[in-house]
Structure formats: structure tokens, C-alpha cells
Amino acid sequence: MNTITAAITAVGAYVPDFVLTNKALETMVDTNDEWITSRTGIKERRILKDEDKGTSFLAVKAAQDLLAKANIDPLEIDLLIMATATPDMPVAATGVYVATQIGATNAFAYDLQAACSSFLFGMSTAAAYIESGRYKKVLLIGADKMSSIVDYTDRSTCIIFGDGAGAVLFEPNYEGLGLQDEYLRSDGIGRDFLKIDAGGSLNPTTLQTVKDNKHNIIQDGKTVFKYAVTNMADSSELILKRNNLTNEDVDWLVPHQANKRIIDATANRMNLEDSKVLMNIEKYGNTTSATLPLVLSDFEHLFKKGDVIILAAFGGGFTWGSIYLKWAYDKK
């Protein structure tokens, strides 16, 4: 029997219509366009303004985009994995609701949370299900409504995050394409540097936690930046060495879109030319679980069957890693 590998066979994406520009942020906090651009590479981000819509709305839209483009019956989906740091609610998995909403009623579904590494870790999980031979179609969605946990008076976070969703379909491949190798890591030292203080079992919601603004994301920017630069670059370099790949072998780097300086450091460590480094951070900011699939969607037209792609991410916790993927199709 031929070896089964897990390949991405379709992608989809969705971002809200409302654009929050750097100029608009100048009227909200003490910042300016030049400062934001030079330090992050972000020019604008998309925001889901509807108060009655959550992350599931974004995820459903991205999934529907994928299903329509690939002409796939949602009843064929075996499993839906929802990578998100902002589920609709703490209990009742968002992925379960999304599966029902898109008509994937033959699938089982669940949520996966590893902060900004959620989608990368989800790729590993989806691939394992495919490689087991038990499932044929696994839909992995990365979606976050970061505006729901951002304090728009906090300059250190409100300039960074945006809302969005992306989706990929994993299917069996018998040509040796798809996911080739992974290097995934985590370290609980990061627990204090990027977090939401209240709302969990350690510090449940009270009137006081709401009054004290303990339900929005906070970060120690300098510490997070230092760890992100080191670990994203290290893991990407390691995945190349472990697979005897050189910078010439790599066709594309798909990095988590958190900060252009982190992306540049990773590319420099890999000795990659700028044309191979894919970025859309200027348009969307950091959409957390959605950054990697949004890049895949935006640049799908460039990918050729057999292209070597390195994906890398870093997230709160800390969580990080890299995946070596061979692209499985030419866009029609």
C-alpha cells in the first residue's frame, strides 16, 4: 500500500469589510502612522463591527468560501478542527456550531487553542488524522475576532490585532506531497507575558474583574518580541537542517503575521530573499489563528504543485514551531 501523506487541497478566507487604519488609531490612542508602520509593518486591520456576531461568523464565511471554490459537498467532511483563541463562548465548542452551520453534519468537530500557534498546531493534528487512514477530508479553520478582547485605549495591543478567518482542506495524497515534517514546541514560561487575566477557572468573572478591565489581552511586548524572534527563527532553521534543505530549495516562507521585524529576522536566519517571504500584515495586522491560512489564500495563485513551503508561528503560552509542506496542486 502506498504511504499516505496529508496534503492541502483547497483554501478559503474571509475578512470583515470595516477597515481600521493607522490614521484612525491616531484619534484613539497616542500613536501615529509612522510609529506603527516602522515597528510592526501594519497599515490597517479588519474589524467585525457587528456586536451580535462572533468568531463563528468569520469561520463560517471562510469555510463557505472554500467549499464553493472547491465545489465540495459539506456532507463529505469527516472532521472540522476550529483553531481559535476567541471562541464564541467558553463552553459549547465553536467548531461544533460552525460544522452545523455549514452543513457538515457528518463531521465531528472541536476547538484547538494554542494562541497564535493554533493553526500551525492544527495542521499537525489534521495531518495525523489523514495519515491514520481513518478520515479522508479534514477541514481546518483558523479564525479570531481579536477586537472582542482588545482594549482600544491600550496602545501596545490595539495597533496590532485584527479580525479574520481562513480555512484549508486536508486530504490523502499518494505522491509524497503535503506535510513532510514538523517541529513544534511550547514553554509555560510565557504564561505571564501574553494573557487575559480573568474569565477562566483561576480568576473567574466578577463585577470587580470587569471593573478592573481584566478581560482584555495584555502583553509584555519586549519579552514577547524577544522570544518570538529567537524561537520562530530557530525552528525554521532547524526544520531546514533536519530535512537537508537549503535556502535555494525553499520556494516560500509563510510566517505568522505578528510583526514585520519578527518575519524579517526569521527570513534572515533562513537566508531567504525577500521575494520568497509572503506577507499581508500591512492589510490585516495580527489575526492570531487566521494569519497563516489568510496568507495561503492571498498567495494561492503563486503556488505550484511541488513547491516547498515553510510555515512558522509563535504564540502566547509560549507556543511555537515550523512545518515543512510540499504544495499539492496548481490553482485552476
pLDDT for the residue numbered 332: 77
pLDDT for the residue numbered 219: 93
Quote the domain boundaries for residue 87. Answer: 5-177
Q: Does any domain span residue 332?
A: no
- For 221-238, the pLDDT digits (tens) are 899 999 999 999 999 999
Do 164 and 208 belong to one domain?
Answer: no
- Domain with residue 125: its CATH number is 3.40.47.10
- Distance, CA of 227 to CA of 241 (rounded, Å): 21
Do 204 and 310 belong to one domain?
Answer: yes
Do 156 and 198 belong to one domain?
Answer: no
247, three cell numbers: 535556502
Q: Does any domain span residue 63?
A: yes
Q: What is the DSSP string of 90-122?
A: SSS-HHHHHHHHTT-TT-EEEEE-BTBTHHHHH
Q: Does any domain span residue 17?
A: yes
Do 183 and 173 belong to one domain?
Answer: no
Q: Does any domain span residue 320?
A: yes
Which one of 177, 205, 225 terminates a domain?
Answer: 177
- Which of the following is catalytic: 158, 231, 256, 259? 256
Do 218 and 164 belong to one domain?
Answer: no
Q: Does any domain span residue 221?
A: yes
Q: Does any domain span residue 214?
A: yes
Dihedral angle over CA of 187, 188, 191, 195, nearest 10: 60
Do 15 and 161 belong to one domain?
Answer: yes
Which one of 177, 193, 228 terminates a domain?
Answer: 177
pLDDT for the residue numbered 208: 97
Q: How many domains is the chain built from?
A: 2
Are the C-beta atoms of 139 and 203 separated by less than 8 Å?
A: no
- Distance, CA of 51 to CA of 61 (rounded, Å): 17
Q: Does any domain span residue 84?
A: yes
- Which of the following is catalytic: 22, 116, 158, 259? 116
pLDDT for the residue numbered 206: 97
Do 221 and 232 belong to one domain?
Answer: yes
Coil vs helix vs strand at 286: strand
Residue 267 to residues 91, 159, 295, Cα–Cα distance (Å): 39, 23, 16
Do 123 and 232 belong to one domain?
Answer: no
Which one of 133, 152, 177 terminates a domain?
Answer: 177
Do 56 and 126 belong to one domain?
Answer: yes
Do 127 and 203 belong to one domain?
Answer: no
Q: CB-based contacts of 273: which residues, under 8 Å, 6+ apart?
A: 247
Do 166 and 201 belong to one domain?
Answer: no
Q: What is the DSSP string of 114-161?
A: BTBTHHHHHHHHHHHHHHTTS-S-EEEEEEEEGGGS--TT-HHHHTTB
- Which of the following is catalytic: 22, 231, 259, 286? 286
- Distance, CA of 63 to CA of 50 (rounded, Å): 19
| HSE of 309, CA atoms in CB hemisphere, 13 A | 26
Do 15 and 158 belong to one domain?
Answer: yes
82 CB-contact burial (10 Å; exposed 0-12 / middle 13-18 / buried 19+): buried
Q: Known catalytic residue: 116?
A: yes
136 CB-contact burial (10 Å; exposed 0-12 / middle 13-18 / buried 19+): middle
pTM of the model: 0.97
- For 85-125, the pLDDT digits (tens) are 999 999 999 999 999 999 999 999 999 999 999 999 999 99
Mean pLDDT, contiguous 10-residue spans, the chain (332 residues): 91 98 96 95 98 97 98 98 98 97 98 98 98 98 98 94 98 98 97 95 96 95 94 96 97 97 95 97 98 98 98 97 98 82
Residue 209 to residues 48, 54, 131, Cα–Cα distance (Å): 25, 22, 45
